[in-house]
Amino acid sequence: MNMEYPQSPPPPPQQRRVALPSAPPRVTYAIIGITIFIFILQQAGKYFLGYDLAAFLGMKINEAILAGQLWRFITPVLLHGSLIHIGFNMYALLSIGTGMESRMGHLRFLMLYLVSGFAGNVFSFYFSDAPSLGASTAIFGLLAAEGIFLYHNNKFFGQRGKKALSNLIVIAAVNLMIGMSPNIDNWGHIGGLLGGLIFSWFGGPRWEMEGDYPLLRLEDSRNTGDAITGALIVIGIFGTLALLKFFV
Query: How far does the chain reach from its first CA to its final CA, in angstroms?
Result: 83
The model's confidence at residue 2, banded by pLDDT at 50, 70 and 90, is: very low
95 among known catalytic residues: no
Task: Inform me whether the pLDDT recorded for 216 exceeds 80.
Answer: no
Residues ≥6 apart with Cβ < 8 Å to 237: 119, 198
pLDDT exceeds cutoff 80 at 61 = yes
Helix ranges (DSSP H) in the chain: 26-49, 53-58, 62-66, 83-104, 106-127, 136-152, 158-178, 186-203, 224-247
The sign one gets for the Cα dihedral 237, 243, 245, 248 is negative
Average pLDDT over residues 23-47: 95
pLDDT at 93 over 60: yes
Q: What is the per-residue pLDDT for 130?
A: 95
Amino acid occupying residue 170: V
Beta pairing, strands 216-220 & 207-210: antiparallel
Residue 20 burial class via C-beta count within 10 angstroms: exposed 0-12, middle 13-18, buried 19 and up: exposed
Q: What is the pTM of this model?
A: 0.87
Mean pLDDT to the nearest integer, 88-110: 94
77 DSSP assignment: G
Query: Above 60 in pLDDT, residue 8?
Result: no
Question: Hey, where are the domains in the chain?
Answer: 18-247
Residue 221 contacts by C-beta under 8 Å, 6 or more apart in sequence? 206, 207, 208
CA–CA separation, 73 and 75 (whole Å): 6
Fold of 18-247: Rhomboid-like fold (1.20.1540)
Whats the size of the chain, residue-wise?
A: 248
Mean pLDDT of 191-203: 97
Residue 74 has pLDDT above 70, yes or no: yes
> What's the pLDDT at 107?
96
Catalytic residue among 8, 136, 166, 200: 136
Band of pLDDT at residue 1, cut at 50, 70 and 90? very low
For residue 156, count CB atoms less than 10 angstroms from its CB and return exposed for 0-12, middle for 13-18, buried for 19 or more.
Answer: middle
- Position 5 scores a pLDDT of 44
Of 183 and 212, more confident? 183
Q: How confident is the model at residue 213 (pLDDT cuts 50, 70, 90)?
A: low
Whether 80 is catalytic: no
Strand partners, 123: none
Exactly one of 116, 124, 189, 200 is catalytic; name it. 189
Mean pLDDT of the chain: 88
pLDDT higher than 70, residue 14: no
Q: What's the pLDDT at 172?
A: 84
Q: Please calculate the CA angle 248-68-112 and round it to the nearest 5 degrees.
A: 90
pLDDT in tens, 111-126: 999 999 999 999 999 9
